[in-house]
Amino acid sequence: MECLIVSESYKASTKLLQGIPEQMEKIEAAYNQTVAFQILLHNGQKNHYLLNEQFSIPDEIETPMYRIAINTQLNYQAQFVEYYLAKDNIAYADKLIEEKSYTCDGDRYAPIYVEIPIDETISKKNYSIEILVFQSFINQDDRLIARKQIDLAISDFKFPKNIKDNFKLDIWQQPSNLARTFKVPLFGDEHFKLIDQMAKILAGIGQKSVTIIAGEIPWKGWFNYIVKDFPANLYEYSIVPIKRNKNGEIICDFSLLDRYLNTFFKYGIDWEINIFGLLGVWTPPFFPLNNDMEHPEKLVLRYFDEESSKMKFIKDKEDFQTYFRLLVDHMVELGLWDKTYFNADEPKFNEVDKFQSSLKALKEIEPSIKIKVAFDKEPVLEALIQDVDYPVTSFYCTTKHYKELSEKFSEKTQYYICNYPTKPNTFLHSPLLEARVQGLLAYYLKTNGLLRWAFNCWPIHARTDIRYNTAALPIGDNCLVYPGYNGNILLSLRYKQLKRGIEDYWLLKELENYDEQIAEKIVSAFLEKKSPSKWMMNSHETDSSVFNLSDEKFYILQETIISKLIEVNQGRKNDE
């Protein structure tokens, strides 16, 4: 049995031609940091693997069984990593599963992801972590077949517990998909248990924004009604029930909205509220529109009419104005108006006039509304930039315009990754360090964080297959986590590395507080090309000579910054 200890950023796959990964004998960690590594097991056969003292017999009783024991004084968590099929029919390990037994085919490594939190109660010394691999049997004693060791050294440096606070992460949530995938009633109690779980997971990675759907189907299902390569139902529905009472008055029930907000606020996700469905809604081909609506955009606002007991759609201008006014007033009453943005996702150039007319209509109702827009095209950015309070630009647009944007919109700029650029990205086939580098790039591009369009935009069979519309969406673009069979949302290695990147961002911002020039110099030394305008060959494709990342480069980056910060702190103590 081959047993390898490798980096946390290694992405196991079924590629035919790949070298043996570099092995690790030691790792280093600071206080208030979580250190991680992977164990890879392989002998060319299909095997059934067990963690620690777990006893589990495989479905096919003749499948060999192997038990892995991890011996250490430290607290740790170990999880098998499950594979998903991705680009070129290659499977990649990504999903962290909760079961303590796992059957793995012989054409791939069986990966185990091990995490060790280093809190301030742990003594500063070196620790040895022993990995034992036993052949296990149904009716015989275990037989030890492999023994490995990795040493852990703890440095003097201490991260604060709030390192995620200054990174503004905005990952859009898909709450309707969450209910649909777990087959629970939309916005019922069971759904809110899942929403609570989602909020907690997002808080763990530094999420700052709450996604509120206040108009029906703003993305029209991301084309799922015509794209049939893999089955998907991706419609997102409004969280605000509307009714017309027998007196003809429009009335809104904001209790679900309030409950959703409070769920996120409980975990400290309260920096901004992003409302979708009332501006810049998508109008894809062949989708039925609410053409009778007296508004520049044909919004979808469904209500229950008490007089007729029918479900109807808002069409009259006055009814829409009433609904919008009620929504605005409610956010004001909650004391959240200053944090509230009406969002639009990638408006098209041929829709600029309609967008501006729609925005004008909204401002006639409430002049103080604020707008946040994701821009993927330079001509649209140029046409609408004067109308926007918070621009979020595609990676390509950011590389071209980040300097003027950061000057004009201080602390109100983000960049985003989606189905492009080709790299660095968070696709299933992307090297994991491309997720980590997002923190460094957010710093270098002078933004205050990152936007990702999909937390859980899952197709129907997402527990085993996340492919959807693969001609337009590289596999993995549509989610950062996975649905489990047990009612839990499961994390990914991509999630873990993005979290590590936010740690890098904090280090750079902390060093900038003392010496901005040194921070800039360290990042410049990390990058192959210093000028962002030269990173992209076009709006989608990245120059192959950039972002060729390695664990060694990131190790040097963190060590250099931490050394400088220790120097600074020592100097301050001496001055005192």
574: confidence class by pLDDT, cuts 50, 70, 90: low
Strands 127-136, 143-158: pairing is antiparallel
What are the tens digits of pLDDT across the range 271-298?
999 999 999 999 999 999 999 999 999 9
pLDDT at residue 500, as a whole number: 98
| Strands of the 168-171 sheet, one edge to the other | 168-171, 449-452, 414-417, 390-394, 371-375, 340-345, 272-276, 209-213
pLDDT at residue 470, as a whole number: 96
Burial class (CB in 10 A: 0-12, 13-18, 19+), 518: middle
Dihedral sign from CA coordinates of 556, 557, 560, 562: negative
pLDDT at residue 569, as a whole number: 79
Amino acid at 487: G
User: 9: which 2 tokens?
Assistant: 């950023």
| Averaged pLDDT for residues 467-479 | 97
63: confidence class by pLDDT, cuts 50, 70, 90: very high
The residues near 375 (Cβ < 8 Å, ≥ 6 apart) are 346, 347, 381, 384, 391, 392, 393, 394, 397
Instruction: Give ranges for CATH 2.60.40.10 in the chain.
Output: 2-158
The Cα–Cα gap between 11 and 285 comes to 38
Residue carrying structure tokens 């769920």? 263
Closest CA to 270 of 193, 179, 165, 348: 165
Distance from the first to the final alpha carbon of the chain: 57
The Cα–Cα gap between 292 and 313 comes to 10
Burial class (CB in 10 A: 0-12, 13-18, 19+), 46: middle
| Averaged pLDDT for residues 133-149 | 96
Backbone angles phi, psi at 489, to 5 degrees: -90, 130
pLDDT at 552 over 90: yes
pLDDT at residue 52, as a whole number: 87
pLDDT at residue 419, as a whole number: 97
| Averaged pLDDT for residues 160-178 | 96
| Averaged pLDDT for residues 12-24 | 93
The Cα–Cα gap between 411 and 391 comes to 11
What are the tens digits of pLDDT across the range 199-220?
999 999 999 999 999 999 999 9
105: confidence class by pLDDT, cuts 50, 70, 90: very high
The Cα–Cα gap between 359 and 363 comes to 6
pLDDT at residue 183, as a whole number: 98
What are the tens digits of pLDDT across the range 413-435?
999 999 999 999 999 999 999 99
Q: Look at 410 and 30; give whichever has higher pLDDT.
A: 30
| Averaged pLDDT for residues 324-330 | 98
pLDDT at residue 122, as a whole number: 94
| Averaged pLDDT for residues 15-37 | 94
pLDDT at 408 over 90: yes
Residue carrying structure tokens 């029919």? 89
pLDDT at residue 572, as a whole number: 66
315: confidence class by pLDDT, cuts 50, 70, 90: very high
Element (H, E) at 258: helix 255-265
Instruction: Give ranges for CATH 3.20.20 in the chain.
Output: 168-243+251-286+327-518
The Cα–Cα gap between 248 and 528 comes to 65
- Cα–Cα distances in Å, from 136 out to 18, 50, 71, 357? 29, 9, 18, 70
Strands 110-118, 33-42: pairing is antiparallel
Question: What's CA 301's distance to the chain center, in Å?
Answer: 29
- Mean pLDDT score of the chain, rounded to an integer? 96
126: confidence class by pLDDT, cuts 50, 70, 90: very high
- Least confident segment among 167-176, 209-218, 563-572: 563-572
| Averaged pLDDT for residues 403-408 | 95
- Report the half-sphere exposure of 155 (CA within 13 A, side-chain side): 17
pLDDT at 575 over 80: no
pLDDT at 462 over 80: yes
The residues near 37 (Cβ < 8 Å, ≥ 6 apart) are 5, 6, 7, 8, 24, 27, 114, 150
What are the tens digits of pLDDT across the range 345-399?
999 999 999 999 999 999 999 999 999 999 999 999 999 999 999 999 999 999 9
User: 395: which 2 tokens?
Assistant: 């990676």
pTM above 0.95, yes or no: yes
pLDDT at 84 over 70: yes
2-158: CATH topology: Immunoglobulin-like (2.60.40)
pLDDT at 446 over 90: yes
Pick the CATH number of 168-243+251-286+327-518 from 1.10.10, 3.40.1130, 3.20.20, 1.25.40: 3.20.20
The runs of H, that is alpha helices, within 424-515 are 433-444, 493-514
- Cβ atoms of 11 and 108 within 8 Å: the answer is no
- Cβ atoms of 542 and 423 within 8 Å: the answer is yes
Backbone angles phi, psi at 563, to 5 degrees: -60, -45
| Averaged pLDDT for residues 20-36 | 96
